Amino acid sequence: MDQDELLSNSFYKDVVSFLEVVEKTIDINPNLITRLKYPRRAIRVSIPVRMDDGSMQVFRGYRVQHNHVLGPFKGGIRYHPNVNLGEVSALASLMTYKNSLLNLPLGGAKGGVKVNPNSLSRVELEALSRRFATEIGPFIGPDKDIPAPDVGTNPETMAWIMDTFSLETGFSQTGVVTGKPVEIGGSRGRLSATGLGVVYIAEQALETQRKEISQSTFAIQGFGNVGSHVAIEAHAMGAKILAVSDIKGGIYNPRGINISELIRYLKEHRFVEGFPHTNTITNEELLELDVDVLCPCALESVIHEKNVNKVKAKIIVEGANGPVTPQALDYLLKNNVLVVPDILANGGGAVVSYFEWVQDISWLFWKEQEVREKLKKVMVDTFTRVWNFTKTYQKSKDKDNLRLSAMAIALLRLEKAMKLRGQI
């Protein structure tokens, strides 16, 4: 792997810098850190698609398999115009740390196609997804590498990938992807799992400041699968959602937005703008609102050196992967803002993906309530482990650096496993 090519991507560089901070702070095998700076394998593919007008377009696709010392590779597939090898590698590394931190028997991977899914018809999207599945087919499978949805993909995308893989191998293999529709082996509760997990974590973070979720205010950036479910679940627990946004912009009401009505409104209107009883705000303005909990649930690097001094929230829960850059994190820590890192905060999706995989392998399916209870237990236990590590291990100047603790716990588990396997 060409390290320079990866490091030319600032997000990849940021993820590597999280590793280096841990290396400087705790006693850990330096060979582990050196190894983890390189993904194990990166697959680049061309995806030819015959478009509806008869022309041919070729899209670029990637699957990066970062580390699988703990179990099969696992991680989502993203469809977005900015997808590139560096970004997918950064996201694959974060999956290794997320799955390790959550104590799952899974490694880390990520895939992506450089495409704007909204500009393709459904027929074109299906053709693209099926061809991508064929190209990465030799490298995925229920005990090799298990994709899932991410930005720009959904249960339908997973159904196409599962079907293509199954047709090519000759029999139905439900366990090759997670986040599928329930009718074909998906888990109940998977669709809302990432958002619900974010809310369970927000509840824990608020508790450390002696606040209750039912008395708190939220601003949520991004209204995709993560952000919309954060809004629904937090609203159901009595929190006031002051602002939400999507790619076109945001809406704000200082008395709180009626989320059930907003969901009904979105069935007719594609975007949140224009929702009655709200003012229009920009995505940037949303990040600057004075709320108890700010949830950036869209894309990476949205809170950075240049805008971090305008953030007023006292708690940030990273629903997206990598929304706070390392420079912004330093500033926030100095200003006593509690930042709950992605690998903990948005781990709910990975946890219920694991539950789905287990259900597929055992052909025994659970009720939604059972999934939600099991998810809550994992999220609360993991938050507690990270919180306790912060209190007992870190020096006082690093107080409440949950990113450092979460990374340290994840790396110490990987260190043990890699040592036992004779890899470091």
Shortest CB 419 distance to ligand GLU, Å: 26
Shortest CB 123 distance to ligand GLU, Å: 25
- According to CB under 6 A, which one of 173, 353, 401, 405 is a site residue for ligand GLU? 353
Q: Which two tokens stand for residue 16?
A: 């590597």
Nearer Cβ to ligand GLU (71/256): 71
Instruction: For residue 295, state whether it binds ligand GLU (rule: CB under 6 A).
Output: no
Inter-residue contact 333 to 403 (CB < 8 Å):
no
* Cα 138–Cα 135–Cα 53 angle in degrees, nearest 5: 160
Instruction: Please tell me which residue in 110, 114, 240, 314 is annotated as part of the active site.
Output: 110
From the list 58-66, 73-81, 111-119, 372-380, the region that binds ligand GLU by CB under 6 A is: 73-81
Instruction: For residue 150, state whether it binds ligand GLU (rule: CB under 6 A).
Output: yes
From the list 8-16, 70-78, 365-373, 413-421, the region that binds ligand GLU by CB under 6 A is: 70-78
How many helices (H) and strands (E) the chain has is answered by 15, 12
- According to CB under 6 A, which one of 206, 350, 402, 408 is a site residue for ligand GLU? 350
Residues between 169 and 208 with contacts to ligand GLU, criterion CB under 6 A = 178
Shortest CB 11 distance to ligand GLU, Å: 13
Instruction: For residue 148, state whether it binds ligand GLU (rule: CB under 6 A).
Output: yes
Is 110 one of the catalytic residues?
yes
- According to CB under 6 A, which one of 40, 66, 68, 74 is a site residue for ligand GLU? 74
Nearer Cβ to ligand GLU (139/265): 139
* Cα 294–Cα 371–Cα 194 angle in degrees, nearest 5: 25
From the list 266-274, 281-289, 349-357, 369-377, the region that binds ligand GLU by CB under 6 A is: 349-357
φ/ψ region of 280 (left if φ > 0, alpha if ψ in -120 to 50, else beta) reads: beta
Q: How many other β-carbons are positioned within 10 Å of the β-carbon of residue 299?
A: 20
Q: Which two tokens stand for residue 21?
A: 């901070």
Distance, CA of 60 to CA of 172 (rounded, Å): 28
Amino acid sitting at position 164 = T
Q: How far is CA 56 from CA 80, 190, 203, 220, 249, in A?
A: 19, 35, 49, 39, 33
From the list 5-13, 114-122, 345-353, 398-406, the region that binds ligand GLU by CB under 6 A is: 345-353
Sequence-ordered strand ranges (E) for 153-232: 217-221
Instruction: For residue 233, state whether it binds ligand GLU (rule: CB under 6 A).
Output: no
Instruction: For residue 76, state whether it binds ligand GLU (rule: CB under 6 A).
Output: yes
Query: Which residues does 167 contact at the CB level (< 8 Å), separation at least 6?
Result: none
Shortest CB 256 distance to ligand GLU, Å: 29
Inter-residue contact 97 to 131 (CB < 8 Å):
no
Inter-residue contact 134 to 164 (CB < 8 Å):
yes
Query: Which residues does 154 contact at the CB level (< 8 Å), separation at least 6?
Result: 179, 225
Binding letters toward ligand GLU, positions 96-135, x by CB under 6 A? ----------------------------------------
Nearer Cβ to ligand GLU (75/296): 75
Inter-residue contact 269 to 229 (CB < 8 Å):
no
Q: Please give the residue ranges that form the binding site for ligand GLU (CB under 6 A).
A: 74-76, 148, 150, 178, 321, 346, 349-350, 353
Catalytic annotation, residues: 110
